[in-house]
Amino acid sequence: MLIGLIIIILSISIDQITKILARTLLPLNGPDVVWIPGLFEVSYHQNPGMSFGALEGQQLLFMIATIIALGLFGYLFKDSDYKNKKVYSLAIAFFIAGTLGNAIDRALYGYVIDFMHFPFLDGLLNAIGLSNFYNNWADMFLSAAIVLFAIDLFILDEKRKKELKKRETTPQSE
């Protein structure tokens, strides 16, 4: 549990520090600052909605969804076990950190600070009807959490169940 709390605190710190830097150093809706051509750019944006700007201005809905999500993630966090369920535990810590990182922005500013842009994804997003998007570390932690949670649920959990079943059916030597 301590490892999970450390990961959550570090992740929220990374998210909030980089958002402060973006807010302080970059002009609002200014031109992209290219760090790695075609791969990574930064530009400061205020997102009053959720992913891709959806549900703009629905602060009460976001607050309720955040409370429900944190309740669920907190419940799952009690099963964190960095010795036997590393991927699951990391996923839950990232779910909590990402949710809290964006909730802090909404509480302080009424919007989420976004600043990272990955231009190599633009063609794919445009093909499915989504415009260019900007995100932040909290969003990245949430995306990683989804992938890690799916890996644990569909691959690693099955392996744990098979191993447990194998141990239960194998005679114990005394």
By annotation, the residues acting in catalysis are 114, 139
Rounded to 5 degrees, what are φ and ψ at 120? -65, -15
Provide the 3-class DSSP secondary structure of residue 36.
strand
Render 62-124 in DSSP notation, one character per residue.
HHHHHHHHHHHHHHHHTT-BTTTBHHHHHHHHHHHHHHHHHHHHHHHHSSEEEEEE-GGGHHH
The angle subtended at Cα 34 by Cα 47 and Cα 115, nearest 5°, is: 15
**Residue 14 CB partners (closer than 8 Å, separation 6+):** 137
Name the DSSP class of 170. S
- Evaluate whether 41 touches 119 at the Cβ level (below 8 Å): yes
- Evaluate whether 136 touches 19 at the Cβ level (below 8 Å): yes
